[in-house]
Chain A
Amino acid sequence: MAGRTRDFLHTIWNTKGLARYMFWAGAAITAVFVVCAIFAPWIAPYGFDQTSAHGVNFPKLGPYDSHHLLGTNDQFYDIASRMIWGARTGIEVVILSVILAGLIGVPLGLLSGFVGGWVDRVLVFLMDALYAFPSLLLAIVFSFLLKGKLGSGILAAALSLTAIYIPQYFRVVRNTTVSAREATYVEAARAIGARPMTIMRKYLFSNVVQSVPVLATLNAADALGTLAALGFLGLGIQPTEASEWGYDLSRALDDAQGGNWLPAFWPGLMIVLLITALTLVGEGLNETVNPALRRRRLKPVVFSARVPADVAATGPSGGTHGVLDGPDDRPGGGHEEAAT
C-alpha cells in the first residue's frame, strides 16, 4: 500500500504540461497561506482584535503608513494583521470541516456499499437530496441552529460547513465499495488463494487514494468560499473570536460604496487567492490522477531516412520478377548484431 502511495506521488511528480504548472502554482500559493496560518503570531504585527499599541489607539479607517502596512479598518483593526490571522482562521475551519465530513461520509459510504439493500437505497436518496440543496442555505441553517449552542467560533463555523460535504465523500466511497465488491467476485474466481477482504482492501485503497485527495482539495476551496459567505451575512465567526475575511468584507461594504474600497479589497483578494490556489491544486491533481484527462507530452515524429533500395525492390512496377539477387544488393541492410 505504501507502494501505491509512492506511485501516486510519482505520477504527480512526472505529470507534464499545463496540469503541472497549475498544480505547482497552486501548491506554492497555498504553502504561503499555510505558513501565514502557522506563524501568524510571529508574522502579524498586531493581534487580530488589537485596537491600540504602546498606549496609542489605532485610527479608524487609517491610510497605510509605516505602522499599518495596509491601513486600518472601520473597527480600528490593523488590516494587514487581520489578513494574516484570517489565513489561520480559514485554514483551521476548512481543515476541521473537511476532515469531519470525511470522517462521517467515508464510513457511511462504506456501510452503504457493503450492506446494500434498503439501507443503501435510503442513504443514497438522503445524500442526493442533501446534495441537491443549495449549500449556502444548508450552511446558513446549521450556523443559525448552532449559534445558540456553540456560539460563533471556529468550531461552530466548521460544523456548519461539514454537512455540505458529507454527501460527496459518501457518494465516491459508496460507488467505489460497490464496484470493489463486484471486482472481488471476479478476482476471487480468477486468483484462488487471495482472501476477498485482501482484494477488497487493495481495490478500495487504490481508488480512494486517487479520488479523495482531489475531492478534499476542491471541497476545501469551496468551504473557504462558504465560510466567507457566512461571515459576510453576519452568521459566521464574530470579530472578537477570530479574524475572518468574509466578516471584514461585510464591514467594509458601506465604505466601498462611499468610495473607500481598499478595506474591502484586501480580504476579498485573500479569499480569491486561496480559493484559486486550492482549486488549481485540486484540478491539477485531478488531471494527473484521472487517466481520461491526463495528457502526456509527446515526442514529435522525425522520420529516419528512407532506404532507396526498398523502393526499387518493392515498387509494383519495379519488381524484379523471377530474379533472385544475392543478399549483398541491399545497401540499407548492413550487417547488424542479432537482437538479444
Chain B
Amino acid sequence: MSSSAGSGSLARYILVRIILVIPMMLILLTVVFLLLRVAPGDPVSASVGGRLPPAILAQKRAALGLDQPLYQQYLEYLGHVVRFNFGTTISDNQPVLSVIRDKGGATLTLTVGAFLIALVLGLPLGRLAGRYRDSGADAVIRIFGIVTYAAPIFWVGVLLVAFVAAHFPSWPTYGIASAQTTFVVPTHTHILIVDSIIANYWSGVFDILKHCVLPCITLGLLITGVIIRLVRVNVIQALKGDYVEAARARGVPEGRVVRKHAFRNALVPVITVIGLQVALTLSGAVLTETTFNWPGVGTALVNYLNERDYTAVQGLVTFFAVVVVIVSLLVDILNALVDPRVRY
C-alpha cells in the first residue's frame, strides 16, 4: 500500500521539480543574453571588424538578426535555445550545436572518468576522516583534501606530464587518442571510446584509456578534495544522529554503524552538493582540456575566446547553462529516489 502512495508522490515531486526548471533556465539565459549580447555592443565588428568591408559587416549583422530591436533579439534567442539552436559561430561559420556534438563526447569522457576517480578516492577517505575525527589519519586526509583542491589543475597537469615524459616516454601526455585510432574508428555516437567499442576496435579502446589516465587523474583530484570535505563533515554530523545511538544500543558493530547508518545518511546531502559540483567540474574541464590539448568543448571555448567570436562564446556558455540546470534537476530526482522522505 505504501509503495503505490510513495511512487505517486514521487511522480508529483518530479513534475514540480521539472516545472521549477523553467524560471531558473529563463534567468540564466537572460543573464547570458545581457552579458554577451547587450553589454559588448556589436559582436560582429568586435570579432571581425576591421578585417572586412562595412557592407559585408552589415550583411553579417543582418544574417545574425543584430539589426533588430533588442527585445526581439531576446525573444528570438530564447526561441532558438528551446529548439536547441545555440547560434552559428562567426569565425568559422559552424552551428554551435555541431561544435558541441563533435567536442562534447571528449568532455563527457573526461568528466565521467574524473568523477569516477574522485568517488573511488573521496568517499572512503572522507568516511575514514569523519569516523576517526581529529586523529592523525583525519589530519593527513584533510590536508590532502585541501591541497588537492588548492593545487591549480594546470599545475598538477603540467607536473604529471613532466614526470611521465621523463620516466615513461612512450606514455601519451596529450590528446584523447593517437592519430591512428581517431582515423580508424567510424563515428556513430561522437563519443570516441563508445564508437571504438561499437567498432570492436579494442586496441583503440586501450589507446583511449591510456590517454585518459593523466587528464582524468588531474581533474579527478580536484573533485576528490571537495568530496572528502563533504563526506567528512556529513559523516561527523550523521554519527551524532539519534538513530546511530539506537543502532549501537541494539548491538550493531561500530563498523556497520558507520557503514550502514551514518555513511548512508551522510550521502543524502552529499549527493545534492556533488550535483552542485558540476559547475566546478565544468570549470575544471576547461582548464584540464587546455592543459592536455584535449579536443573537448572547453578547448573549443578557449579558442573562440581568443578569436573574440562572441556568438560562439554565447552559444557555448548558453549550452553550459543548460547543462547545469539539467544536471541539478537530475540530482534532485536522484535524491528523491535515494531518500524516501524527500517525496513528501
Contact = CB atoms under 8 A, between A and B. Distances in A.
Interface of A: 17-18, 125-126, 128-130, 132-137, 140-142, 144-145, 148, 221, 225, 228-229, 232-235, 246, 249-250, 252-253, 256-259, 261, 264-265, 267-268, 271-272, 275-276, 279-280, 283, 292-293, 295
Given A18-B134, A232-B287, A279-B149, A264 B158 contact: yes
A228 B152 contact: yes
Contacts of B290: 232-233
A221 to B, nearest CB: 7
Contacts of B325: 132
Interface in B114-156: 133-134, 138-139, 142, 146-147, 149-155
A91 to B, nearest CB: 16
Contacts of A272: 147, 150-152, 155
Contact of B146 (A17, A130, A268, A280): A280
Interface stretch (B195-203, B274-282, B332-340): B274-282
B279 A133 contact: yes
B305 interface: yes
Contact of A232 (B24, B152, B328): B152
Contact of B134 (A17, A128, A276, A292): A17
B75 to A, nearest CB: 19
A213 B316 CA distance: 35
Given A268-B155, A276-B150, A125 B162 contact: no
Given A134-B282, A134-B320, A275 B31 contact: no
A228 B152 CA distance: 8
Contacts of B313: 141, 144
A257 B173 contact: yes
A293 B324 CA distance: 31
Contacts of A246: 152, 154
A129 B134 contact: no
Interface string B22-36: 011001100100011
B63 interface: no
A48 B286 CA distance: 28
Given A261-B162, A264-B155, A18 B305 contact: no
Given A141-B313, A259-B166, A276-B146, 19 more contacts: A129-B27, A129-B28, A132-B276, A134-B282, A136-B282, A136-B284, A137-B282, A145-B35, A145-B40, A233-B305, A256-B162, A264-B155, A264-B159, A271-B152, A271-B155, A279-B149, A283-B146, A293-B236, A295-B134
A280 B320 CA distance: 32
B45 to A, nearest CB: 11
A337 B69 CA distance: 93
B150 A221 contact: yes
